[in-house]
Each structure stands twice: as C-alpha cells, then as structure tokens.
C-alpha cells in the first residue's frame, strides 16, 4: 500500500531518542524542549516559540493568552479541521463560523468585514454580536493545507475592530505570505502542529509562536500550570500542556531537515499539478498569487465521486482520502452562529488527497498518477 502521508524519520531521530533514554530526561523538562523552541522560532521567523502537547492545546493557550473567555465568540472559517473549533470551545467560547474565499480556501476578508460591520456593534465597551449579545473576542484564520490566509487584509480588519488575531497555522511550517514566514505574517499569535501527519513531526505536539515577549511569557506560564517559582505556588488556573523531551527529540531531528522536507512536499504537489493539468473533471487546489503554500497535502478537486476514486485507488494499493467536512455540518456546531457557506459547501466533498509523504519515490508517484488517470477515464 502506498500510504497517504507518513513521517520521514531518516535523520537523527533514533540517536536523539536514545539520548533521552540515557539521560533519563523523558518528561517535560530537557534540552531537546529548549532546542525545539529555538529551532521552531527560527524556522517561523518569530521572536519566541513555546512548545506544547498538541496543536489543539497550543490554540487553546493562544486564545486564553489573547483574552478569549467564557461566553465569547471567535471568528473562524468553517472549512477547517474540528480541532480549531474545539480549541475555542475549550476556552468556554463559541465559534462564529464564516465562509472561505474561493481563491484560497481561507477566511474571506471581504465577508469578514461585512459581517463585523453589519452583524456586530460596539456596546458597553466591547464589540458584540447583535443576535446573541456575545462579545466578539478574536479572529482565527486557518492556513488551509499550509496555505496562508490574506493576512494583510485580515490584519487591517482586526485593527479596525480592535480584535486580536490567533492564526491556526497547524500545517504551514515553511509557508510564505508575500515573502514573509509564518511568524511575520501579522497574527498576534500563531500555532503549529507537529502531529504525525505533518511535514515536520514530533509524533504529537505543537508550538505557539509570537513576537510580544510579555504575551509569550504568559503562554509559557499558562502551559506549565501557572506555577510561580520552584515552590508549589500557582497564581491562576493554568494547564499542563507541555511537550515532552522525547517528543521534542524527534521534532529537533525533523527541524534540522525542515527545508528539505518542505521542498519535497512542494515538488510532489507540482508534479501532480503538471500531470493532471487539463484532465477533464479535475481541478487543482487554489494558488493565490500572494502566498507560497507549504503544500502539506496534495490532491485534486473532482467533479465526479471522491468515494468512487478512493475505492478504485485502494483496490490498486494506493491510499487516498476525502478532506475536511466543514464545522457548520458537524454535530457539535450545527447551532453556532454562521454565515452562508456557498464556497465551503461547494468544495468540501469534492476534494481528494493523494499520497504525499516527503519520501514518496518518483516510481510511487508515477504509479499514483497512472492509477488516477485510469480511474477517471
């Protein structure tokens, strides 16, 4: 079976894991945690990074540090993985779901401004959602498939309405927006995931990125149970959201090869795009001129059945999968405030992802291409 996306563990991962075992630093304190923080900040062009136990816990920490709390609303594109919405819910808040832009599959800034202008109002010193009275507390753009949102436009809207921006950059390590890396795209805080299917993995884990030292110190403080000093004193309700040294050891080995891993993702994506160009009933993932995607996943947009193609490929020993079902169609969020979803509804069930592990061989990719062409003929 040619798998969809598996880790490339051909570097120093095993050696660094052995260092953890030999040193007995296997928990949430150890040299690899510090090294991962430094390498992640460097790779993202951010001043600071705080490693976390997952991308989801990283989002929750970032939202709390940005001031999101009980009863608030956070603007979120509906076309995202459910972890984005769950992180909001874990803060006691709710997502305000909005449609995405057809040219990027990321939060539509034109729609965002219109909704804030017409469906929210200043009341009692806060921006409030007219229909529910809830405070609008933040904007969470999602960098879909490793593709940055239009952050200059979103940032301008956020400044106009006095809202912080917390970016779900889970799969966007290596992405660029108008030449700028994730840590310099304009979000107040951004969050990576290092899940096993990400281009750079620590097996599990994530990291919060930011440039404000005070805010990032708060993120770090919250992630370590809000403990003050070496005694068992805690100054607020915190979280145990720390990454372990064992996870960080794998992540450090991966980050040492991050440029090569991202380049492999882009090469695989470009090969698919070239191979399927002009094929009837097949479209490519959007490529806005202002973004350079990290190309986390590769795939197609079909006019025919995704399930049928996946079944035919599996019969040939090739794994392919559909992509995210939007949040407004998920049971826990069916009653969340939401816009019309013309773009998300029109695209989500037509997306199929294809094998794109960074060590996918040319022969394996050719086999996938031939099988797709045969299945769609």
For residue 328, give the CATH number of its domain. Answer: 3.90.1150.10
Average pLDDT over residues 137-157: 99
Strands, E, within the chain: which ranges? Answer: 48-52, 73-77, 94-98, 120-123, 126-129, 136-139, 166-168, 176-177, 189-193, 206-210, 227-228, 233-234, 282-283, 291-292, 298-302, 321-322, 351-354
Say which residues have a Cβ less than 8 Å from residue 294's Cβ, sequence separation at least 6.
Answer: 143, 146, 147, 171, 172, 173, 174, 175, 199, 262, 265, 266
One domain for residues 202 and 266: no
Q: Smallest Cα–Cα separation from 220: which of 377, 19, 64, 43? A: 64
Report the number of distinct structural domains present in the chain: 2
Phi-psi sector, 322: left (phi>0), alpha (psi -120 to 50), beta: beta
Cα 33 from Cα 254, distance rounded (Å) = 13
Q: Cα–Cα distances in Å, from 306 out to 71, 322, 324, 351?
A: 38, 7, 13, 7
Question: Could you tell me the CATH number of the domain that includes residue 95?
Answer: 3.40.640.10
Closest listed residue to residue 84, CA positions, set 104, 57, 106: 57
Name the DSSP class of 278. T
Residues 117 and 198 in one domain: yes
Question: Which of 192, 223, 255 lies at the terminal end of a domain, its last residue?
Answer: 255
* In a domain? residue 3: no
169/289 Cα distance (integer angstroms): 19
Whether residues 109 and 197 fall in one domain: yes
- To 5 degrees, how large is the angle CA 88–CA 91–CA 92? 95
Residue 231 three-state SS: coil
Whole-model pTM: value is: 0.97
The first and second tokens of residue 339, run together, are 């816009």
Does position 357 have pLDDT exceeding 90, yes or no? yes
Examine residue 304 and state whether it is found in any structural domain, yes or no.
yes
Q: By the 8 A CB rule, do 317 and 1 touch?
A: yes
pLDDT in tens, 31-42: 999 999 999 999
Strands 94-98 and 73-77: parallel
Shared-domain flag, residues 69 and 122: yes
Domain end position, chosen among 203, 231, 255: 255
Average pLDDT over residues 150-174: 99
- Looking at the fold, whether 107 and 150 belong to one and the same domain comes out as yes
% of the chain beyond a pLDDT of 70: 100
Residue 37 lies in a domain: yes
* Pair 36, 118 in one domain: yes
Residues 248 and 263 placed together within one structural domain of the fold: no
Q: Are residues 270 and 198 in the same domain?
A: no
Segment 320-346 mean pLDDT: 98
Flag whether 1 is in a domain.
no
33 located within any domain: yes
Distance CA 205, CA 125 (A): 37
pLDDT value at 331 more than 90: yes
Say if residue 42 is in the same domain as residue 187. Answer: yes
Same domain, 328 and 262: yes
**Is the residue at 199 inside a domain?**
yes
Last residue in a domain, options 228, 255, 282 = 255
The confidence band for 353, taking pLDDT boundaries of 50, 70 and 90, is: very high
Q: Which of 358, 339, 372 is nearest to 107 (CA)?
A: 339
Q: Tell me the per-residue pLDDT of 47-88, one tens digit each, with 9 for 90 and over.
A: 999 999 999 999 999 999 999 999 999 999 999 999 999 999
Of 327, 346, 375, the residue nearest 142 (C-alpha): 327
What average pLDDT does range 369-373 have in this prediction? Answer: 98
Q: Above 90 in pLDDT, residue 230? A: no
In a domain, residue 8? The reply is no
- The pLDDT of 282-297, averaged and rounded, is 96
Q: Which two tokens stand for residue 102?
A: 């057809």
Mean pLDDT, to the nearest integer, of 321-337? 98
Confidence of residue 212 (pLDDT cuts 50, 70, 90): very high
**Domain with 230 in it:** 13-255
Pull the structure tokens for residue 218: 């708060």
Tokens of 350: 């037509």
What is the spatial distance between Cα 244 and Cα 357, in angstroms, rounded to a whole number? Answer: 25
Q: Is residue 4 part of a domain?
A: no
Task: Please check whether residues 277 and 246 belong to one and the same domain.
Answer: no
| Residue 105 reports pLDDT greater than 90 | yes
Residues 69 and 171 in one domain: yes
């Amino acid at each position: 079976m040619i798998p969809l996306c598996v880790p490339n563990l051909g570097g120093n991962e095993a050696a660094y894991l052995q260092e953890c075992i030999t040193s007995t630093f296997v928990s949430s304190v150890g040299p690899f945690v510090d090294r991962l923080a430094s390498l992640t900040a460097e790779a993202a062009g951010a001043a600071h990074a705080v490693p976390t136990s997952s991308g989801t816990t990283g989002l929750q920490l970032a939202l709390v540090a940005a001031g999101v709390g009980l009863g608030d609303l956070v603007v979120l594109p509906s076309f995202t993985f459910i972890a984005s919405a769950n992180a909001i819910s874990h803060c006691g808040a709710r997502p305000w779901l909005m449609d995405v832009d057809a040219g990027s599959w990321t939060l539509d800034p034109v729609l965002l401004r219109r909704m804030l202008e017409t469906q929210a109002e200043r009341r009692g010193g806060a921006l409030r959602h007219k229909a529910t009275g809830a405070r609008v507390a933040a904007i969470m753009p999602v960098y879909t498939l490793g593709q940055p949102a239009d952050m200059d436009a979103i940032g301008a809207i956020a400044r106009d309405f006095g809202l912080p921006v917390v970016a779900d950059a889970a799969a966007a390590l290596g992405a660029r927006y108008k030449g700028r890396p994730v840590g310099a795209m304009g979000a107040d805080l951004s969050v990576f995931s290092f899940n096993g299917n990400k281009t750079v993995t620590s097996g599990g884990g994530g990291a919060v990125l930011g440039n404000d030292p005070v805010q990032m110190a708060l993120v770090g403080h919250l992630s370590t149970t809000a403990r003050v000093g070496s005694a068992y004193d805690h100054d607020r309700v915190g979280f145990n959201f720390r990454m372990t040294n064992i996870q960080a050891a794998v992540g450090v080995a991966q980050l040492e090869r991050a440029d090569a891993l991202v380049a492999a993702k882009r090469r695989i994506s470009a090969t698919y795009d070239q191979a399927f160009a002009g094929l009837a009933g097949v479209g490519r993932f959007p490529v806005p001129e202002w973004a350079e995607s990290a190309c986390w996943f590769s795939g197609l947009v079909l006019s025919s059945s995704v399930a049928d193609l996946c079944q035919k490929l599996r019969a040939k020993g090739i794994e392919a999968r559909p992509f995210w079902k939007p949040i407004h169609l998920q049971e826990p969020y069916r009653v969340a405030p939401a816009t019309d979803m013309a773009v998300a509804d029109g695209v989500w069930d037509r997306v199929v992802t294809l094998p794109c592990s960074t060590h996918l061989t040319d022969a394996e990719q050719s086999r996938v291409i031939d099988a797709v062409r045969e299945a769609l003929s």
